[in-house]
Structure 1
């Protein structure tokens, strides 16, 4: 018997009315939070891997146990595919992955900023089922409401965010539009290979899954 997963419940029925002002405010300033101590070993590993690789880079933010990182590493076999998650508990249970993968325990925002500082552009960036933070008061904790969101645009490349909450991907699409980037919102096809354990569980529970994609300069 498959464990069922509850759908996202929120008092917010549509795009948060405060999103435009928040996105524009973050776009007009730089995110200055210092790197946390837990991030420093990961940043050192990242530098060493990039200096050795010197080729295309794919980022898998919020990778959890790394199933998506393993799949993406097989898909992008000539790229360095980097899975990032802040939880050591999740990474300790990570999947076996090809040799072109790298797992980092760190806050994703710190990795984004470090890559931007290195002037590293991405071939692709996946943000698969981040915590939806469904309470309206938690808008700034969502990826597109976070002050580090402009860093994603600076990294360039193909970007794909997936969620089982339609409002979340709609908000991300609005945020991209506000920053001058066209995007596409679509239903994730049910016949595709599930990239994450969450994606598999949501499908088994009958959830509609959504994606927002963009190709950044």
Structure 2
């Protein structure tokens, strides 16, 4: 069945003219927003589970994981890693966590819920900084189809325009961002290059298998997909 999703519509025809200035401001002043108590609790609990289940295993963070479909795929693709999927919606995470411990995949194959996976409800603005404060670094980091906030006035709501972006980059690892709006990825690349000096490239791609419900919907709707993959280690 074909999807009917629309490509983000925006008055922008290219990279936001204020992005470089916004990035410079964020780089020059530490982001000091106080942590919310529930985020501290969520981080502490997830950190305890990581230490108990897979101490020392390389970390993968699936940011804005939704129902966790991509987190499951990553945990299976990287069995020696520990995958943390984070989303601020309790409803979406509950939908993912209510999946049976054994799932029937396409073709009838039975596959167990990955033991190296943890789904966490938290605000990433705090969770990223708490990871950094704890001295943790990532091996891989995924931003899969974040809200593009396509209106011109919403630049600072996009992750690369947010004051937390320098902390996100400081977590290191191989950072992959995907979107169906090429301007979002072009801006992401500019932000990575300006703040880290690392080259970042926007490229079109077609996944072998959709990792998220959004990716599946966009493919069914005939959208072009774009990504940037940058090694920050």
TM-score by length of 2: 0.89
Partner SS, residue 93 of structure 1: helix
Most deviating of 36-45 and 159-168: 36-45
After superposition, the C-alpha distances for 1:166-185 in whole angstroms (9 at most, x for unaligned) are: 00000000011111121122
Q: What is the aligned-residue RMSD (CA, Å)?
A: 1.3
Match of 2:231 in 1: 215
Q: Does the residue aligned with 1:6 lie in a helix, a strand or coil? A: coil
Work out which of the residue numbers 89, 114, 125 in structure 1 matches 2:130.
114
Q: Is the 8 A contact 2:60 2:140 kept in 1?
A: yes
Which ranges in structure 1 are unaligned for 5 or more consecutive residues? none
C-alpha separation in 1, matches of 2:6 and 2:154: 19
Q: Which residue of 1 aligns with 2:81?
A: 79
CA offset at residue 35 of structure 1? 1.6
Separation in 1, partners of 2:127, 2:212 = 21
Which residue in the other structure is 1:124 paired with?
140
Equivalent-residue separation in structure 1 for 2:221 and 2:206 (angstroms): 15
Runs of 4 or more above 6 Å deviation: none
Deviation sequence 1:103-132 (CA, Å, 0-9, x none):
110011211101111111111000000000
Q: Between Structure 1 and Structure 2, how many residues are aligned?
A: 216
Distance in 2 (CA, whole Å) between partners of 1:130 and 1:59 is: 14
Is 1:187 equivalent to 2:189 in the alignment? no
Q: 1:91 — aligned with what?
A: 93
CA distance in 2, matches of 1:49, 1:107: 18
For structure 2, the residue ranges without an aligned partner over 5 or more in a row are 100-112
TM-score (norm 1): 0.95
